[in-house]
Structure 1
Amino acid sequence: MVFSKGRFLLPLSLSLISTSISTALIHGRCSLCFLQGIYLFILHNSFILINQLSAQANWIYTTSSVSDLLGYEPHELRGRPSLELVHPDEMERVRKLHYDTIKQDKAACLVYIRMKHKDPNKGYILCGVSRTIVHNITVGSVSYANSGAKALHNASTAQEITVISPTPELEFRRWHDPSPMPPNPVPAQLRKPFDDNLDETSPEPEELFTYDPLPSQSFRTAFILDRFSLRCPIQYCSNSLLITANNIEDRSFFDFVASKDEPTLRSWIATVKGWGVNERGQPSDGGFGFGKFTLLAEGRDSLAGHRSIEPTSARHRHGSGQASRTRQGRSSVRGHGSDTSTLSTRTVPLPESESFTVDAIFSAHSDGLIVILRRGT
C-alpha cells in the first residue's frame, strides 16, 4: 500500500483494504485518519444502473461498483425493486419524482436521496442519482454525494436538480428556481411542474400513478462503453432504434461515428473522462456533456488505415472482466446476428443515406461511460 500526503497513488482492491485494516488493528497502528481515507476511497466510486419503467423501478443491471458504495453484489439486486433502498421519510417524494421522470420523458436529471446500505451498521448513504429515460428503461448512475467542487460541477451540468434529503450543504439551484429552495416537504403551491403545456388549474393526481400503459417515450438509445480503452468498445446497447448493425458488442463506438466527426468526438470523450475523476485521481462520476455528431447506422471500420484488419476471431472475441459483467446484466431488447455479417458491415463503405445527425449526452462513471443518443433536432 502506497501513500503520498494522504492520497492513494495506486488503486486498492477491497480485499487488500480489508486485509490492511485488519493487520493495522491487530498491531495497533490504525489511525482515525487512515480509516477515514479508506472510507472516502470506497465512497468516491459510482456505479451505473439500468432500471425498469415500472412502479417499483426494478433493477435490471448494475455495474460491480455497487458493492463498493452500497455493499450489495449486482446479482443480489437484479429483479428487486430499487425503491426499497430509499429512506422511508423520502419514499413518497421519490415515487412522485420517479413517475414524473417517466411521464415527462426526462434526461440528464440529478436527485439527492438517501439509500440503504446492506450493512445495517452503516444505515443510509447520501447519494446523487442521475437518470435518463431511454425508450423503455431508465439509465443512470449512483454516486456518493458530497458538497465539494465535483458536486457543484455535476449539478451545473444536469438538466434538472432535485434535493430530497434534508442536506443544506447541497442546496444547488438555478436562477429561475424559487429562492431559497423549497423546504422538505415541498409546499403544495410549489409542486406543479414547470411546464407551460400543462393546465395549471388542474390538481395533480398523485394517487393516480398509471404505469400501464406508459406514456409515449422518445426514441433514444443508451450505450455503455469501456472507459479504459482508447477504442471505447461497446459493452451494452439498449435497443436497435438507431444502430441497425448486428453484433456490435466489443466493436469500437467510433465505428458508428462519421470519420469527419471522429476527432471532435474523441476530444469530447477525453474531456468527460477528465471530469469523471475524483479528488484522489480515481475513476468516478463527473456530470454530463452534450454534443451533436453524425451517426452511421451500419458502421464502418474506424481503424482502417491505421493498421491492418485483425483476424475475425480476435476482433469478435468475447471480452472478459467488466465487459462480461455488462453482457450478463444487459436487457433482452436487442438481438444479434452472426460474426460474418458484422465483418462485412465493417469493410463495406456506408452510403450517405445511412447517416444522420444525433444529439448525445455523455457521462463518465467508475465502471464505464454512458452515451445516450437520439435523432438530432
Structure 2
Amino acid sequence: MEKLEGLGWISILNVDYNPRVLYVSDSLLFILGWTPEEMVGNPILDYIHPNENEKARALIIHAIMHDSVAALTYLTMRHKDGHEVVVVSSYNCVYDRVICSGSVAVPGQKARLRSLTASEFVPVTDIPRSRYQAMRWGKPIHGDPLPAAMAMLKNPPPFPQMEKRTCLLVNRFTRDSTIYHCTNDLYLNIDEVCDHSFFHYVHPDDDEKVREIINSAKSWNRHGDSATDGGFEYCVFRLFPQGRPLITEPPRPVRTNKRRRSRSPPDDRKKGGGGASTTSPSKGRTATDTKPVKDTAPQLPEAPPECFTMEGVFSACSDGLIIVLREVDGEPVPPVTL
C-alpha cells in the first residue's frame, strides 16, 4: 500500500448517466491491475463495487446536474485480481467530458487538506464525515446531495446545458508545462496546442503568478521523493488563444539627404529640357515629368491579439497536471466554506 500511495491515474469519461472510459493513463495498471486498453470503451460503473453502484450512479447524476468541478469523492473500486481498493477520486465536468483522477485513499492530514481545497466533497464509501471538511466555490451545498440524486435514478432528468469549459492535460515533469492533450477547441486550437508550452498561451504579465500556482499544485502532490495526488489550486489569468504575439522592434527611421538628387529618366523616354513634355515613340502618349503624388492615406493600427480572462482550476497527480479553464463572465467567485 505504501508503494501505491505515490501513484495516481487520470481518466476521461463522456458526459452520460452511464459514462464510458475514453482515456486512462498508465498508473491505473499499478493501482487496479487493469491496463488502459482493457478499460477504455467500458462503462466506469463496471469497476465500482456492487454495494456502492447505486450511490455511484446517483453521484454521476448529481455531478452532471450541478456541472461540478474540482469535486472529490471516496469510493470502492474492483481490482482485476478480485480484491477491493478504496479510492479517492476528483472529478471535473468539462463541457462534453468528465475528467477524473484517482489514487489509493489514505486517511490522515493529507486527506483532510485535500478535501479542504475541493469545491465539494461527496463520499460514496461510508467513511466518518467528521474526519473531513469541505468547501465549495459559489453557492454552498448543505447536507448530503446523494439522497435527492438517488430519487432520480429511475427517471433521470434531461441533460442540462453544460458550461463552456476546456481541460488541458500537461506533463508535470517539464519545466514549461508541455501540453499533451486538449479536450475541445472552445478556447484553444485542439490541433495546435499539443507539444506546446502552456505558458505560450499565458499573458506575460501573468506568467509568474501562474507558475507559482502550478508549483503550488505540484507541491500538494509530494509523497517523499515521488509525485502523488493532492489538492486543488485556483487562479485568474489572461490567455491568448492563438499564443503570445511576437514582440518585434519597430523599424528604425531612415535618415534622408535633404538635397534632392536628380533622377535618370526611363530608358524608353527622351530627355527633355526644363520639364518639357516628351512623347513615347512606342505608344505615342505624352508623359509629363512630374513628381509622383505620395499616398497620404492614414494607416490603420493593427488589431490587438485576442485575449481572454480565464479562471483556472489546477490539480496534479503522478501522471500529469490537470488544468480546467473557463472564461470569466463578470467577477470571479472566490471559494466559500461550508
Q: For residues 295-337 of structure 1, give each alpha carbon's deviation from its aligned partner in whole angstroms, at most 9, with x where no partner exists.
A: 10100279x89xxxxxxxxxxxxxxxxxxxxxxxxxxxxxxxx
Number of the residue aligned with 1:371: 323
1:260 to 205, 212, 215: 205
Q: Residues 187-266 of structure 1: matches in 2 within 5 Å?
A: 191-192=147-148, 204-210=151-157, 214-244=159-189, 246-266=191-211
Quick one: distance in 2 between partners of 1:155 and 1:219? 25
SS of 1:57's equivalent in the other structure is: coil
Extract structure 1 runs of 4+ deviating beyond 6 A: 175-178
The question of whether the paired residues in 2 share the 8 Å contact of 1:47 and 1:64 is answered with yes
Deviation at 1:286, TM superposition (A): 1.2
Structure 2 distance, partners of 1:254, 1:224, is 13
Q: 1:284 aligns with which of 198, 215, 228?
A: 228
Residue of structure 2 equivalent to 1:28: none
2:289 corresponds to: none
Deviation (angstroms), 1:204 = 4.5
Displacement of 1:42 in angstroms is 2.1
Instruction: Measure, in 2, the Cα distance between the counterparts of 1:361 and 1:233.
Output: 17
The residue that corresponds to 1:329 in the other structure is none
Correspondence for 2:103: 143
Larger radius of gyration: 2
Q: 1:245 to 1:75 in 2, by over 3 A?
A: closer
The secondary structure found in structure 2 opposite 1:163 is coil
Task: Decide which structure has greater helix share.
Answer: 1
Cα RMSD, aligned residues only: 2.5
Structure 2 Cα separation of the partners of residues 191 and 45 of structure 1: 32
Normalization by structure 1: what TM-score? 0.67
Offset of residue 167 of structure 1: 2.5
Shift of 1:129: 1.0
For residue 352 of structure 1, what is the amino acid of its counterpart?
P
DSSP 3-state at the match of 1:155: helix
- Which residue does the alignment assign to 1:328? none
Q: Given the two structures, how large is their TM-score scaled by the length of structure 2? A: 0.75
Offset at 1:254? 0.3
More strand by share: 2
Alignment of 1:1-377 (within 5 A): 39-120=1-82, 123-168=83-128, 171-174=131-134, 191-192=147-148, 204-210=151-157, 214-244=159-189, 246-278=191-223, 280-300=224-244, 352-377=304-329
Task: Provide the rounded CA distance (Å) in 1 between the counterparts of 2:202 and 2:187.
Answer: 12
Structure 2 spans left out of the alignment, 5+ residues = 249-301, 330-338
Amino acid paired to 1:61: Y
Contact 2:115 2:134 in 1 (8 A): no
The Cα of 1:243 is off from its aligned counterpart by 1.1
Q: Unpaired runs of 5+ in structure 1?
A: 1-38, 194-202, 306-349
Is the 1:72–1:118 contact (alpha carbons within 8 Å) kept by the matching residues of 2? yes
Check conservation: 1:43, 1:69, Cα contact below 8 A: no
* Amino acid corresponding to residue 126 of structure 2 in structure 1: P
Distance 1:56 1:177 in 2: 24
Distance (Å, rounded) in 1 between the aligned partners of 2:60 and 2:303: 41
> Contact between 1:163 and 1:170, CA under 8 Å: does it hold in 2?
no
1:366 Cα deviation from its structure 2 partner: 0.5
Task: Report % sequence identity.
Answer: 29
